[in-house]
Structure 1
Amino acid sequence: MAAELPEFRQAEEGCMAWQGISVRAVLWLAISGLGVSAFLTQVVLLRELMAALGGNELVLGIVLGSWMLLTGLGASAGRVAQRLRQPLAGLAWAQMVLAVLPLGQIWIIRACRDWVFPRGAEVGPAETVLVGLTILAPYCLLAGFLLTLTCRLLAPDERPESIGQVYFLDVLGDIAGGLLFSFVLVWLWGHFGTLYLPAFLNLLLAGALGYLVRSRPVMAMAGLLTAVLALGAATVDWELASTRRQFAGQEVLFQGQSPYNRVVITRLGEQVTFYANGTPLFSTGDPAAIEQKVHFAMAQRPQARRVLVLGGGLSAAAGEVLRWAGLGPDQLPPDAPPGQSPPTESIQVDYVELDPLLVSAGQQWIPPTRNASAIRVVTADGRLWVRSSSERYDVVLADVPDPVSIQWNRFYSREFFLEVKQRLTADGVFSLACASYENYLSPELADLVAIVHRTLREAFQNVLMIPADRIIFLASDGPLTTQIAERIAQHGLKTHSMRPGHLAGILAEDRLVALQRAIRPDAPINRDFFPILAYRHLRYWMRQFQVRWGVFLAALAVLGLWCLWRARPVTVAVFSAGLAGALLHVVLLLGFQVVFGCVYHRVGLMVTAFMAGLAVGAAWMNRRLGRGSGGALAGVVGALAAFAALLPAVLAGLDQASRWPGLNLICQVAFLTLAFGLAVLVGMVFPLAAKMAFEQVSITAGRIYTADYLGAAFGALLGSSLLIPLWGIGPVCGLTAALNLAAAGILLMRKM
């Protein structure tokens, strides 16, 4: 191997083309540029694939796990980097590929989804794995390869410090990309616009490397690609063009980007449909869905005058509520001016929507509701509003998606139901819908019904289940009735679908009895930190694909044990630290969103604090490598075990403390500190492990990066989609602590 070192020294010492600027400095910029590109590309492709494949927690885990796995494989393949004759030129060519590749990947995802799968069809787990690996492989394998290559370029004299330096510089790029996306790009541009930035940055750095090594082909190609990309960006709206291709056959009226959703509005004939992240939210000309969301609950309390609507699709549900006070268009003369209302007692509706883009889009494209002044629009997280508001309501309508993720599970937990009860009047009614009902109660659906019913009974004395298109749960401490048609008739409402004959079919005795049979007194209670409903809903979703859940879990277990069996003690420690970083970061984000809601800029600060901790930990340990030992690495991994063991108690304490207004800010700072501290420990592991296991730069870097990414892949795949929903955060943190404690013990018992 020593015979190849002069070539690397020549790459650094003989390629000085700019006075005062070294190849090493340009390499540092190139590595950080790769970090910027990797972060922005990961976020954009994750959002695109979630929209194309369906947005539940398993899909998220599969896509993130695939990204980590493929990057780790690419890093492992980077061991051959030492054979490259012109490594700097190779880096430049690779950066040009990474500059333009993500733009093509977005187009393929949007344009080809309906070629591969029927329009509107669900995509199963096996197809999700195949699509995720196929789409992500070109970028991730190459990006992982470059991590190992740049370690070799920074160490022509075979020093282990270069591995920690590349890790640090890559994380710096991640931090820059995270800050840019969270606080600038996501508010200004769509996904194509977001990826123009790393594209031009990588092309600029590739051209600089080409100039340093005096490679005219590299400089010419970098200049040509820059010119073509600039011309394309200036003359073609690729965001709109790809959206039209994605929604072929429909007229695209609007498309926009927000931190929470990619919103698209289309028109087909007279029907206008709103999409959020590829999922249809609401269509005009479909009054039946809106009527079912509103009237089952409002019929329980026709006299209600204060109503809270959480979500509900662009004020459509809020406008329907107003009809119970005679404020709807059917109760006004045709020639009545928009501001006029009948002389009757009014209803005040508070409509809470998380995404401001959905609110503005609804106001632009949905016909205005008469007496819209009776609707107060609040842009906030619905869970946070219920928890922090002092208002009291007669009816609360939670029109939220099924618990397909830990985030949405927050609206189905015991803690949320108790918070809703605090906002209700003495006999107020709470309405929630979950899952579809089609005259058959499968075991998985019966399981969902039992859990939601049991959890609601923890907060309310009475629970009524209605088998409409979705199963509607009505909860109250006051009386509840199935005499819906009579209440609607007494109030004089004119409905499109909720007429006596149709309601009689919905409320047929056999349908109601079928739901009652699902009730089990031993059903588990869904909680914020034990989101069992999210796991059971995942099983309910997977039922349609005939997935053998046990086989899937067994295969993952065998793969994980095989990796650990073949690994060396140091790589076991890196694997366990990578898994701990991924799992515990998810736990912290879950706790933060439970306490403070899904507020984008605050969650962005949590992610930024985590990445900053990785950089600080890696930089600090890289400067102290001379003092590193097996005991030092075992100590850091042991500290991770202690962090994991203590985290559940700390989160429970922060949850309680945050309820005191004076401690709210302190609790937010505490969460940021926890994220930073966790990441410092994880960041310290990487350079220390590289020093302990060092053989040759390419071999060691490939091995350590592979172990780190494999651990992160297992954490991403299993964390939020399986382990946390199935066990809760306490056992998950305990498992993480045990794994890291075992890794620390192995390090102490076996000397390298």
Structure 2
Amino acid sequence: MEKKLIFSLFLLGISSIFAQSLLIRELMISFYGNEFFVGAVLAFWLIWVAVGSLSAGKISNKFKNQVLLFFSQILFSFFLFFEILLIRYLKGQFFGLEIPNLIHSFLGASLIPFPICFLLGFWWTIATKIFSEVKKEISSVNFAYFLECLGFIFGGILFSFVLVKFNPFLVANFLIFLNLINVELFIFPERKFLFWKILIFVLLFASFSLFFIPLLKNLEKVSAGFWFKNQKLVETKNTLYGDIQVTKIDSQYNFFENGVYLGSEKDFEFAEKFSHLSLVLHSNPEKVLLIGGGMSGFLREILKHPVEKIYYLELDPKLIEILKKFLSQELKSSLFNEKVKIINLDGIYFLKNTNEKFDLILVNLPSPSTALINRFYTKEFFQIVKGKLKENGIFAIYLPYSPSAPNKNLENLCASVFKTLNEVFKKVIVLPEDEVFFFASNSENLSYNAEIFSKRFEERKIQANFLTKDYINFRFKSERIEKALEIFEKNKTSKENQIFHPVSYFWQTLFWLDVFSKKFSNFFKSFSFSFLPIFILVLVLLTVYLTKKKNNQINSLFSVAVSGFSLMGFETILIFAYQVIVGYLYFRISLLISSFMLGMTFGVYLGNKKIKKEKIKISDLLKPHFFLLCFSLFSIPALIFLFKSSSLKFAEIFLFLLSILAGFFGGMVFPLANQIYLSFEKEISQKTGVIYGADLIGSSLGALISPLILIPVYGVFSNLILIFVLNFWLLFILLQKPGQ
């Protein structure tokens, strides 16, 4: 039986990473989630896994464990398949292309993963209970944890390099197939389970058949079509960078990525206003760089000016292929004009490594609602841009604005970007309407001189539908300019936006919360700014409690919880760092998580090796927590160095190495703490889920607090210092002499 369980535990790791990668991706698309949302999903994910783990411990004595293991594996596999379908159906039924409100997003993040996570936790506890009953050793739980980590690593590599390109229903069906084989061969090999064997064989045959018929491919297109009410989905393509969808209304094609609207071939008004107002500011814009959003007429409008070369940056080459297929002939001719050079690179990476200098750099991206997009609104990015502009070069960027209906958080967002631009450039002007256009330069020639700009517009004989000479005069002479400047300059709340302290990202999130619940937005803001005093108070109270108790079994639980918090903090920080340094995450997230698990596997292995050699004492936990403490400080200069590095490949490899190290130091804690905790118990098999639950609770807090509060409000480096303080505190607790 021991050998038969090994594959089940290994498959648990594979199932976990597949489910996590697929569901988080689907939930982010359906609920327009950012890193805050991912943090909430991961937190609830870990909480529900802990609930499942503890629940299994309560009922495992009432039923045959072999049957419980069978049901947990099979139900998990089928739930994953149908939950993907359910998520898409719910989005189409209740939201369509509208942004779900706060309550819907919270319910989606917390409740939808529940069945999957509960069954994963249940599966773990039942499998380890059977394993420990067979082995009758405390270390059997540690070995089971080791096997799960191995499965996690293998699954992450397989998903990242192979399965990420396939539609999610195919991947989910592959998981069903693997679990059915495991149950058929290892869980119910005996003939007395004839009924179950026949049922499983039928299900296996059905699952295998799905690989060879077009049902899954059709299901992918039909379910993606749920999102687009009153629109015809004409194409959907899963790429390394996201899910691209093309819809059609009458004769108009609309383009989406991960459910987010990119633009349409007939969405010209904004393209005209932003591009022409930017270009008339420059006396001779020969060389232009456009970052993002070339499908809505931007290239066509830029080409109306006397430009010699346009560099158009679009990260995903598959998007260009799709644009070529569906754009009108007029826009297609602009996209593939001889003056246009399409470059499939990340904007920051390109600017760091190019020797070109530009007359005009336009950023046509959404507001900073994610860490990935926020990079283009930071001081560090503006400094890179400054170095790539010619002597009279101009930089243009925009944000949403509402001069007629002021919103404090929106004003803070715009003020943070305005202050950041002023830190870098000598001259910054603003044009506020429904969007506020920011123009920045090191040249004193940048001004609000409407007469000169109107004259240039006429001299260049620009033909436009929405932009006129009178409109240019209106924008550059508007009374709203002076009012907006006063609001931005006098703002004392907002600070400059930095790559590792993304305050604009925070204000954008609060602005989004305002739309649905002003009270909750104010509460979240107050709690975020009060977090550090609350954290200190909790540590003081815990110190008093634990120093009085002096109980090594309780201390071992806190050791695992602190380790879990630290690991999830590191994981969140390194995922964030990967986004801001490398520039994309979509097809790397499972590999990045697997790097943590690889480190954890080595840590668990060394911990198990130590357990076999000697009796484990509470003092053995000091070393791994000291390593975590040191690693948190080392990460600060390491991240600064990596951002400044011009080698993307080097930065990517180094981030994976940091992930492995973080996992290694944290992984050493679990087997040692588990050995100490279970040494106080007579019935080992009854308590295998407790230490696992403590690990998951600590991890869930780290997953929730780091992205929601610590990174945006206090910054990445403050988050690392807090992890340092937490591990230093635990060292103090562990050094207390235990009571009798």
**TM-score of the pair, normalised by structure 2:** 0.89
AA of the residue aligned to 2:670: F
**2:319 is aligned with 1:350:** no
The partner residue of 1:719 within 685, 706, 709 is 706
Provide the residue aligned with 2:119 in structure 1.
Answer: 142
Paired residue type of 2:446: L
CA contact (8 A) 1:630 1:751 kept: no
Residues 1:193 and 2:181 aligned together: no
1:287 counterpart (261, 268, 288) = 268
Contact 1:439 1:511 in 2 (8 A): no
After TM superposition, the structure 1 stretch with the greater mean CA deviation from structure 2, 421-430 or 294-303, is 294-303
Q: Give the secondary-structure state (helix, strand or coil) at the position aligned to 2:498.
A: coil
Describe how 1:175-190 pairs up with structure 2 within 5 A: 175-187=153-165, 189-190=166-167
**Which deviates more, 315-324 or 622-631?**
315-324
1:707 corresponds, among 694, 719, 722, to 694
Q: Aligned match of 2:520 in 548, 558, 572? A: 548
For the 8 Å contact 2:267–2:296, the answer to whether it is kept is: no
Are the structure 2 counterparts of residues 72 and 210 from structure 1 closer, same or farther at C-alpha, using a change threshold of 3 Å? closer
Q: Deviations over 1:594-626 (max 9, x none)?
A: 444337677765444322111111122112214
Instruction: Indicate whether 1:463 and 2:464 are aligned.
Output: no
Partner of 2:293: 312
Among 256, 272, 275, the residue aligned to 2:237: 256
CA distance in 2 between counterparts of 1:230 and 1:302 reads 65
2:312 aligns to what SS in structure 1? strand
Q: The residue matched to 1:749 in structure 2 has which SS? A: coil
Whole-angstrom distance in 2 between the partners of 1:38 and 1:576: 22
8 A Cα contact 1:350 1:376, kept in partner: yes
Q: Is the 8 A contact 2:371 2:580 kept in 1?
A: no
For residue 512 of structure 1, what is the aligned residue in structure 2? 481
Alpha-carbon displacement from aligned partner over 1:48-76 (angstroms, at most 9, x marks no partner): 11111112332222222111111121112
Once residues 155 and 161 of structure 1 are traced to their aligned partners in structure 2, the CA distance between those partners, rounded to angstroms, is: 8
Q: Are 1:640 and 2:612 counterparts?
A: no
Q: Among residues 707, 724, 727, which one is paired with 1:737 in the alignment?
A: 724
Deviation at 1:682, TM superposition (A): 1.0
Q: CA separation in 1, counterparts of 2:206 and 2:628?
A: 48
Cα distance in 1, alignment partners of residues 380 and 293 from structure 2: 21
Distance apart, 1:701 and its partner CA: 2.5
Counterpart for residue 301 of structure 1: 282
Residues 1:238 and 2:226 are matched in the alignment: no
Paired residue for 1:620, among 606, 622, 628? 606
Question: Are the equivalent residues in 2 in contact too, given 1:33–1:198 (CA < 8 A)?
Answer: no
**CA pair 524-248 structure 1, distance change in 2 beyond 3 A:** closer
Bigger Cα displacement from structure 2, 366-375 vs 150-159:
366-375
CA distance in 2, matches of 1:711, 1:446: 36
Structure 2 residue aligned with 1:343: none
Structure 1 residue 534 corresponds to structure 2 residue 505? yes
Name the CA distance, whole Å, in 1 between partners of 2:207 and 2:176.
9
SS at match of 2:626: helix
Q: CA RMSD for the aligned pairs? A: 2.6
| Structure-1 residue corresponding to 2:76 | 98
Question: For residues 516-595 of structure 1, what are the structure 2 equivalents within 5 Å?
Answer: 516-520=485-489, 523-545=494-516, 546-549=518-521, 551-552=523-524, 568-595=554-581
The 2-side partners of 1:104 and 1:701 are apart by: 30
Structure 2 unaligned residues grouped into runs of 5+: 547-552
Q: CA deviation at 1:550?
A: 6.0
1:666 Cα offset (Å):
5.8
The answer to whether the Cα contact below 8 Å between 2:403 and 2:480 also exists between their aligned partners in 1 is: no
Give the corresponding residue for 1:6.
none
* 2:659 equivalent to 1:679: no
| Inter-CA distance 316–224: structure 2 relative to 1 (3 Å threshold) | farther
- Go from structure 1 to structure 2 and tell me whether the alpha carbon gap of 1:190 and 1:105 turns closer, same or farther (over 3 Å shift): same
- Provide the rounded CA distance (Å) in 2 between the counterparts of 1:751 and 1:382: 56
For residue 173 of structure 1, report the CA deviation from its aligned partner.
1.5
Residue 321 of structure 2 aligns to which amino acid in structure 1?
S
1:480 aligns with 2:480: no
Shift of 1:85: 3.8
Q: 1:666 to 1:276 in 2, by over 3 A?
A: closer
Structure 1's 111 and 602: CA in aligned 2 closer, same or farther, altered over 3 A? closer
1:130 and 2:107 correspond: yes
Q: Which moved more, 1:311-320 or 1:232-241?
A: 311-320
Whether the aligned pair in 1 keeps the contact of 2:430 and 2:438 (CA below 8 Å) is yes
Which amino acid is the alignment partner of residue 589 of structure 1? Answer: I
Which segment drifts farther, 409-418 or 710-719? Answer: 710-719
Among 637, 651, 673, the alignment partner of 1:689 is: 673
Distance 1:58 1:182, change over 3 A: same
Q: Distance in 2 between matches of 1:205 and 1:622?
A: 26
Q: Distance in 1 between matches of 2:400 and 2:296?
A: 22
* Post-superposition offset of 1:721: 2.8
After superposition, the Cα gap between the structure-2 partners of 1:467 and 1:705, relative to the gap in structure 1 and judged at 3 Å, is same
Cα–Cα, structure 1 residues 502 and 256, in superposed 2: closer, same or farther, change >3 Å? same
Normalising to structure 1: TM-score of the pair? 0.88
CA contact (8 A) 1:71 1:143 kept: yes
In the alignment, the residues of structure 2 paired with residue 302 and residue 195 of structure 1 have an alpha-carbon distance, to the nearest angstrom, of 57
2:371/2:579 contact within 8 Å kept: no
Distance 1:228 1:643 in 2: 49
Aligned AA (1:301): H
Q: Contact 1:429/1:475 (CA < 8 Å) preserved in 2?
A: yes
Partners of 1:638 and 1:741 within 8 A in 2 = yes
SS in 2 for 1:519: helix
1:423-438 aligned within 5 A: 423-437=388-402
Whichever residue aligns with residue 731 of structure 1, its letter is S
- The Cα offsets for residues 205-252 of structure 1, whole Å up to 9 and x where unpaired, read as 122234324422332222222233344552422101212233242111
Residue identity in the other structure for 2:688: A
> In structure 2, what is the equivalent of residue 489 of structure 1?
458
Shift of 1:667: 5.4
1:479-521 CA-to-partner distances (Å, cap 9, x unmatched) read 2244254432331111121234555555562321231122236
Secondary structure in 2 aligned to 1:369? helix
Deviation, structure 1 residue 735: 0.8
State the identity as a percent: 25
Q: CA deviation at 1:728?
A: 1.2
1:395 to 350, 360, 372: 360
Shift of residue 673 of structure 1?
A: 2.6
Structure 1 distance, partners of 2:190, 2:109, is 37
Q: CA deviation at 1:82?
A: 3.6
1:727: Cα distance to partner?
Answer: 0.7
Q: Which SS does the other structure have where 1:96 is aligned? A: helix
Please give the secondary structure, in 1, of the residue aligned with 2:188: helix
Q: Is the 8 A contact 2:139 2:608 kept in 1?
A: yes
- For residues 602 and 91 of structure 1, the distance between their equivalents in structure 2, rounded to whole angstroms, comes to 31
Q: Aligned AA for 2:305?
A: W
Is the Cα contact below 8 Å between 1:101 and 1:139 reproduced in 2?
Answer: yes
Q: CA deviation at 1:640?
A: 0.8
Query: Match for residue 598 of structure 1?
Result: 584
Is residue 264–residue 295 contact of structure 2 (8 Å, CA) maintained in 1? Answer: no
For residues 317 and 279 of structure 1, do their structure 2 counterparts lie closer, same or farther at Cα, with a shift above 3 Å needed? Answer: same
CA 699–380 in structure 1, closer or farther in 2 if over 3 Å, else same: farther
Structure 2 CA distance for partners of 1:221 and 1:519, relative to 1, 3 Å: same
Distance (whole Å) between structure 2 residues aligned to residue 503 and residue 423 of structure 1: 28
Task: State whether structure 2 residue 14 is matched by structure 1 residue 28.
Answer: no
Shift of 1:373: 2.2
